[in-house]
């Protein structure tokens, strides 16, 4: 119970600060594998510098892994350290895996005895957290999705079937087939529908070791698609946010949506 509370508190603290300098990400050791014996190690962190461990780890209780055949895969050797969480995944199937950290949280505030109170937690817990005599009650929800993709031998697409809830990135170009000098196209969905006019940030890792962020801004077209030109190899972070009114709580009027993906771009 204590461990569950601690890990949830970490994620809530991080999510409430996403408007600041901290970036949330998961980072695979590599994204393409060949042969029969294949393992990937994945880090999960919120940091000031991209792909550098200097803030807080992300809890793994919201980890979801989809195997190439669409079934659920299990991570092993899970560990949560001071600055990062880590786990291993054996790639037992040929094809592409989708690795994601999912999170759904509720943010509430109300007045009691002349004081403003605030609370953060799971949507299922809000009724027990707010007193019956609370006034001026306000509540919102958040849905976050952090993703990466890894492929053993030949790439496949079954694991990337849309869920239909919140922000999702559906590859037009396969996410494990990215090379310098080639364009890549992806489609952004909100609740299963293409989203036009969504602005995304594209940043190459290693920001700690250069003076310029080198951030690219791209915007989705009428089909929800955007295209990125890769000019340097490395691990890249793509992120965006949006909001809607598809809340699970009757009292909530807004739901904040956050998405990020880590992609590997190889030399030409």
- Identify the weakest region by mean pLDDT among 120-124, 189-193, 195-199, 256-260: 120-124
Give the Å distances, CA to CA, from 179 to 107, 172, 215. 41, 15, 18
Q: Read off the pLDDT of residues 23-64 as tens digits, 9 standing for 90 and up.
A: 899 999 999 999 999 999 999 999 989 999 989 999 998 899
CA 93 to chain centroid, in Å, comes to 24
For range 217-229, the mean pLDDT? 98
Q: Read off the pLDDT of residues 245-266 as tens digits, 9 standing for 90 and up.
A: 998 888 888 999 999 999 999 9
2-105+140-265 adopts what CATH topology? Immunoglobulin-like (2.60.40)
Q: Give the strand pairing for 32-33 and 135-152.
A: parallel
Q: What ranges do the domains of the chain cover?
A: 2-105+140-265
Rounded to 5°, angle at Cα 103 from 219 and 243: 40
Whether the pLDDT of residue 19 is over 50: the answer is no
Q: What percent of the chain is predicted at pLDDT more than 90? A: 75
CB 260 within 8 A of CB 237: yes
The pTM assigned to this predicted structure is: 0.90
Q: Read off the pLDDT of residues 78-119 as tens digits, 9 standing for 90 and up.
A: 999 999 999 999 999 999 999 999 988 888 999 988 899 999
Rounded to whole angstroms, the Cα distance separating 255 from 130 reads 19
- Phi then psi for 246, rounded to 5 degrees? -85, 60
CA 38 to chain centroid, in Å, comes to 24
């Amino acid at each position: 119970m204590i461990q569950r509370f601690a890990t949830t508190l970490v994620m809530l603290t991080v999510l409430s600060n996403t408007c600041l300098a901290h970036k949330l990400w998961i980072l695979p050791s590599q994204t393409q594998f060949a042969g029969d014996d294949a393992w990937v190690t994945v880090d999960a962190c919120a940091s000031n510098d991209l792909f550098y461990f200097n803030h807080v780890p992300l809890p793994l209780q919201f980890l979801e892994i989809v195997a190439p055949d669409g079934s659920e895969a299990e991570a092993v050797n899970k560990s949560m350290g001071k600055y990062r969480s880590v786990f291993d995944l054996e790639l037992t199937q040929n094809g592409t895996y989708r690795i994601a950290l999912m999170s759904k949280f509720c943010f509430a505030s109300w007045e009691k005895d002349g004081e403003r109170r605030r609370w953060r937690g799971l949507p299922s817990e809000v009724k027990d957290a707010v007193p019956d005599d609370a006034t001026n009650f306000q509540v919102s929800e958040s849905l976050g999705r952090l993703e990466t993709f890894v492929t053993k031998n030949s790439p496949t697409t079954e694991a990337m079937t849309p869920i239909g809830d919140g922000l999702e990135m559906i590859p037009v170009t396969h996410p494990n087939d990215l090379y310098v000098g080639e364009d890549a196209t992806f489609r952004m969905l909100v609740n299963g529908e293409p989203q036009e006019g969504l602005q995304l940030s594209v940043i190459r890792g290693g920001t700690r070791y250069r003076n310029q962020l080198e951030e690219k801004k791209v915007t989705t077209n009428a089909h929800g698609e955007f295209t990125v030109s890769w000019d340097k190899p490395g691990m890249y972070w793509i992120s965006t946010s949006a909001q809607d009114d598809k809340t699970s709580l009757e009292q909530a009027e807004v739901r904040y949506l956050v998405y990020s993906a880590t992609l590997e771009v190889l030399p030409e």
